[in-house]
Amino acid sequence: MVEVKFYDEVDDRLLKFAVIIAKTNSQWVFCKHRERDTLELPGGHREAGEAIMDTAKRELYEETGAMEYELKPVCVYSVTAPDNFNGEETFGLLCYADILSFEKELHSEIEQIVITGQLADRWTYPLIQPKLIEEAKRRGYR
């Protein structure tokens, strides 16, 4: 069973991931990894010594090619799953981005970005990412 929880804040040292709910022109921005046929929100692992907002900025650029954007933290989330991190609760920062412009080419493992008015129906992380979007909506991010 996968459990997702939300917090206003936790000790910064606990934050291992940043995930970004991204929109452009009021449409959702999803990523498609080149080795998968599902969609996901941009995001990824925090590198050693990296500030968590820098992780969010780096991942947003790497996975969407976002050049100009407004980026805001939404909340902290955690995931506990028996098949991840030995079942330990892991923490990440959930952010919201309004992307104003994109680079023409992607330079990462992401094959393409999908810009759509609808939420994804085939998620890479179906037990996690839809819950992140619902929480952001609950907190006023549309």
Q: What's the CATH code of the domain at 15?
A: 3.90.79.10
pTM score, two decimals?
0.95
Structure tokens at 134: 């619902």
Q: Give the pLDDT confidence score for residue 105 in this predicted structure.
A: 85
Q: What is the pLDDT along the chain (142 residues), one digit of tens a residue?
A: 899 999 999 999 999 999 999 999 999 999 999 999 999 999 999 999 999 999 999 999 999 999 999 999 999 999 999 888 889 999 999 999 999 999 988 878 899 999 999 999 999 999 999 999 999 999 999 8
| Number of domains the chain is built from | 1
Distances (CA, A) of 93 to 53, 85, 104: 8, 17, 27
Do the Cβ atoms of 138 and 26 come closer than 8 Å?
A: no
Q: State how far the Cα of 45 lies from the Cα of 17, in Å rounded to an integer.
A: 5
Q: Collapsing DSSP states into helix, strand and coil, what is residue 56?
A: helix
Range of the domain at 106: 3-138
What is the sign of the dihedral through the CA atoms of 121, 64, 107 and 104? positive
Structure tokens at 83: 């098949």
Distances (CA, A) of 107 to 52, 55, 123: 21, 16, 22
Q: Give the pLDDT confidence score for residue 104 in this predicted structure.
A: 87
Residue 101, beta-bridge partner list: 68
Q: Give the pLDDT confidence score for residue 83 in this predicted structure.
A: 86
Q: Collapsing DSSP states into helix, strand and coil, what is residue 124?
A: coil
Do the Cβ atoms of 37 and 122 come closer than 8 Å?
A: yes
